Structure 1
Protein backbone atom coordinates (compact mmCIF):
# COMPACT_ATOMS: atom_id res chain seq x y z
CA UNK A 1 0.00 0.00 0.00
CA UNK A 2 1.29 3.44 -0.90
CA UNK A 3 0.43 5.76 1.99
CA UNK A 4 0.27 9.49 1.46
CA UNK A 5 0.16 11.99 4.30
CA UNK A 6 -2.95 14.10 4.71
CA UNK A 7 -1.26 17.27 5.95
CA UNK A 8 2.37 16.85 7.00
CA UNK A 9 4.99 14.08 6.74
CA UNK A 10 4.33 10.51 7.85
CA UNK A 11 6.63 9.95 10.82
CA UNK A 12 5.64 6.40 11.76
CA UNK A 13 3.45 3.50 10.68
CA UNK A 14 2.56 0.31 12.56
CA UNK A 15 0.81 -2.63 10.93
CA UNK A 16 -1.87 -4.27 13.09
CA UNK A 17 -4.64 -6.79 12.52
CA UNK A 18 -7.05 -3.82 12.38
CA UNK A 19 -5.10 -1.94 9.69
CA UNK A 20 -2.11 0.39 9.56
CA UNK A 21 -1.75 3.03 12.25
CA UNK A 22 -0.25 6.24 10.85
CA UNK A 23 1.31 9.07 12.86
CA UNK A 24 1.94 12.29 10.97
CA UNK A 25 4.31 15.01 12.12
CA UNK A 26 2.42 17.19 14.60
CA UNK A 27 4.30 20.34 13.64
CA UNK A 28 1.90 22.52 11.58
CA UNK A 29 -0.71 19.72 11.55
CA UNK A 30 -4.26 21.19 11.75
CA UNK A 31 -5.37 21.31 15.38
CA UNK A 32 -8.95 20.33 14.51
CA UNK A 33 -7.87 16.83 13.40
CA UNK A 34 -5.86 14.11 15.10
CA UNK A 35 -2.46 13.38 13.57
CA UNK A 36 -2.83 9.68 14.48
CA UNK A 37 -5.20 7.54 12.43
CA UNK A 38 -5.87 4.04 11.11
CA UNK A 39 -6.14 3.14 7.43
CA UNK A 40 -7.44 -0.10 5.94
CA UNK A 41 -5.80 -2.18 3.20
CA UNK A 42 -7.35 0.08 0.54
CA UNK A 43 -5.76 3.16 2.11
CA UNK A 44 -9.07 4.50 3.40
CA UNK A 45 -9.15 6.14 6.82
CA UNK A 46 -11.11 4.05 9.32
CA UNK A 47 -10.77 6.39 12.31
CA UNK A 48 -8.86 9.32 13.76
CA UNK A 49 -7.53 8.73 17.27
CA UNK A 50 -9.47 10.44 20.01
CA UNK A 51 -7.38 12.98 21.93
CA UNK A 52 -7.29 13.83 25.63
CA UNK A 53 -7.63 17.53 24.71
CA UNK A 54 -9.21 18.85 21.50
CA UNK A 55 -6.10 20.75 20.38
CA UNK A 56 -3.53 18.14 21.46
CA UNK A 57 -1.28 16.16 19.11
CA UNK A 58 0.49 12.80 19.26
CA UNK A 59 4.17 13.67 19.50
CA UNK A 60 5.98 10.50 20.56
CA UNK A 61 6.53 6.99 19.17
CA UNK A 62 3.67 4.51 19.15
CA UNK A 63 3.95 1.58 21.56
CA UNK A 64 1.97 -1.63 21.04
CA UNK A 65 0.58 -2.75 24.42
CA UNK A 66 -1.62 -5.66 23.38
CA UNK A 67 -3.48 -7.18 20.44
CA UNK A 68 -6.08 -4.43 20.49
CA UNK A 69 -4.37 -1.37 22.00
CA UNK A 70 -1.53 1.05 21.43
CA UNK A 71 -0.10 3.89 23.47
CA UNK A 72 1.24 7.20 22.29
CA UNK A 73 2.21 10.19 24.42
CA UNK A 74 0.82 13.57 23.47
CA UNK A 75 2.41 17.00 23.23
CA UNK A 76 0.38 18.19 26.23
CA UNK A 77 1.66 15.40 28.49
CA UNK A 78 -0.94 12.64 28.33
CA UNK A 79 0.08 8.98 27.91
CA UNK A 80 -2.84 7.90 25.74
CA UNK A 81 -4.02 4.33 25.39
CA UNK A 82 -5.94 3.97 22.14
CA UNK A 83 -8.29 1.10 21.34
CA UNK A 84 -7.50 -0.15 17.83
CA UNK A 85 -11.07 -1.24 17.07
CA UNK A 86 -12.44 2.31 17.07
CA UNK A 87 -9.69 4.85 17.92
CA UNK A 88 -11.27 5.74 21.26
CA UNK A 89 -9.22 6.59 24.33
CA UNK A 90 -8.95 3.88 26.93
CA UNK A 91 -6.82 5.45 29.63
CA UNK A 92 -5.01 8.79 29.34
CA UNK A 93 -3.16 9.76 32.52
CA UNK A 94 -1.43 13.13 32.67
CA UNK A 95 2.31 12.48 33.04
CA UNK A 96 4.03 15.89 33.12
Structure 2
Protein backbone atom coordinates (compact mmCIF):
# COMPACT_ATOMS: atom_id res chain seq x y z
CA UNK A 1 0.00 0.00 0.00
CA UNK A 2 1.32 3.46 -0.79
CA UNK A 3 1.12 4.63 2.83
CA UNK A 4 3.18 1.61 3.93
CA UNK A 5 5.87 2.40 1.37
CA UNK A 6 5.96 5.99 2.57
CA UNK A 7 6.55 4.90 6.17
CA UNK A 8 9.23 2.40 5.09
CA UNK A 9 10.89 5.06 2.93
CA UNK A 10 11.12 7.48 5.85
CA UNK A 11 12.48 4.72 8.09
CA UNK A 12 15.17 3.84 5.56
CA UNK A 13 16.12 7.50 5.19
CA UNK A 14 16.53 7.70 8.97
CA UNK A 15 18.63 4.52 8.97
CA UNK A 16 20.85 5.93 6.20
CA UNK A 17 21.41 9.12 8.22
CA UNK A 18 22.28 7.06 11.29
CA UNK A 19 24.76 4.95 9.32
CA UNK A 20 26.50 8.11 8.11
CA UNK A 21 26.70 9.53 11.64
CA UNK A 22 28.10 6.27 13.01
CA UNK A 23 30.67 6.10 10.21
CA UNK A 24 31.64 9.72 10.89
CA UNK A 25 32.40 8.75 14.49
CA UNK A 26 34.94 6.23 13.21
CA UNK A 27 33.03 3.01 13.54
CA UNK A 28 33.76 0.61 10.69
CA UNK A 29 30.45 -0.23 9.08
CA UNK A 30 30.86 -2.49 6.07
CA UNK A 31 28.96 -5.05 4.04
CA UNK A 32 25.61 -3.29 4.17
CA UNK A 33 23.22 -3.83 1.31
CA UNK A 34 21.87 -0.32 0.76
CA UNK A 35 19.78 1.48 -1.84
CA UNK A 36 21.84 2.94 -4.70
CA UNK A 37 21.12 6.45 -3.43
CA UNK A 38 18.86 8.29 -1.00
CA UNK A 39 16.38 9.34 -3.69
CA UNK A 40 12.75 8.28 -3.23
CA UNK A 41 12.93 6.29 -6.47
CA UNK A 42 15.98 4.27 -5.41
CA UNK A 43 14.63 3.69 -1.92
CA UNK A 44 11.26 2.57 -3.33
CA UNK A 45 13.05 0.13 -5.67
CA UNK A 46 15.04 -1.16 -2.69
CA UNK A 47 11.81 -1.66 -0.70
CA UNK A 48 10.17 -3.56 -3.57
CA UNK A 49 13.19 -5.83 -3.97
CA UNK A 50 14.14 -6.38 -0.32
CA UNK A 51 10.86 -6.04 1.56
CA UNK A 52 9.76 -9.13 3.45
CA UNK A 53 6.98 -9.84 5.89
CA UNK A 54 7.79 -10.59 9.49
CA UNK A 55 4.29 -11.44 10.58
CA UNK A 56 3.88 -13.76 13.51
CA UNK A 57 0.74 -15.49 12.34
CA UNK A 58 -1.89 -15.98 14.98
CA UNK A 59 -5.65 -16.17 15.46
CA UNK A 60 -6.53 -17.82 12.15
CA UNK A 61 -8.13 -20.87 13.87
CA UNK A 62 -9.16 -19.15 17.04
CA UNK A 63 -10.25 -20.94 20.16
CA UNK A 64 -13.84 -19.91 20.85
CA UNK A 65 -17.33 -21.38 20.93
CA UNK A 66 -18.58 -22.46 17.52
CA UNK A 67 -21.41 -19.91 17.69
CA UNK A 68 -18.77 -17.17 18.09
CA UNK A 69 -16.98 -18.30 14.91
CA UNK A 70 -14.43 -20.34 16.82
CA UNK A 71 -12.52 -23.09 15.03
CA UNK A 72 -11.25 -25.09 18.03
CA UNK A 73 -12.61 -25.79 21.51
CA UNK A 74 -10.74 -25.37 24.82
CA UNK A 75 -8.97 -28.70 24.24
CA UNK A 76 -7.78 -27.56 20.78
CA UNK A 77 -10.11 -29.97 18.99
CA UNK A 78 -11.47 -28.66 15.68
CA UNK A 79 -15.22 -28.17 15.88
CA UNK A 80 -17.01 -30.85 13.79
CA UNK A 81 -13.89 -32.87 12.86
CA UNK A 82 -13.23 -35.96 14.98
CA UNK A 83 -9.65 -36.46 16.14
CA UNK A 84 -8.14 -33.27 14.70
CA UNK A 85 -6.33 -30.82 16.95
CA UNK A 86 -4.62 -27.56 16.13
CA UNK A 87 -1.77 -26.67 18.49
CA UNK A 88 -0.02 -23.53 17.35
CA UNK A 89 -0.48 -19.75 17.59
CA UNK A 90 -3.39 -19.87 15.18
CA UNK A 91 -5.64 -20.94 18.08
CA UNK A 92 -5.07 -17.72 20.01
CA UNK A 93 -8.47 -16.05 20.45
CA UNK A 94 -6.93 -12.59 20.00
CA UNK A 95 -3.62 -10.97 19.22
CA UNK A 96 -1.12 -10.23 21.95
CA UNK A 97 1.23 -7.28 22.34
CA UNK A 98 4.38 -9.34 22.20
CA UNK A 99 6.21 -12.27 20.72
CA UNK A 100 3.92 -15.27 20.37
CA UNK A 101 6.38 -18.06 21.25
CA UNK A 102 6.20 -17.59 25.03
CA UNK A 103 2.43 -18.02 25.36
CA UNK A 104 2.50 -20.83 22.79
CA UNK A 105 4.93 -22.89 24.82
**Which TM-score applies when normalising by structure 1?**
0.17
Structure with higher strand content: 1
**Which TM-score applies when normalising by structure 2?**
0.17
Structure with higher helix content: 2
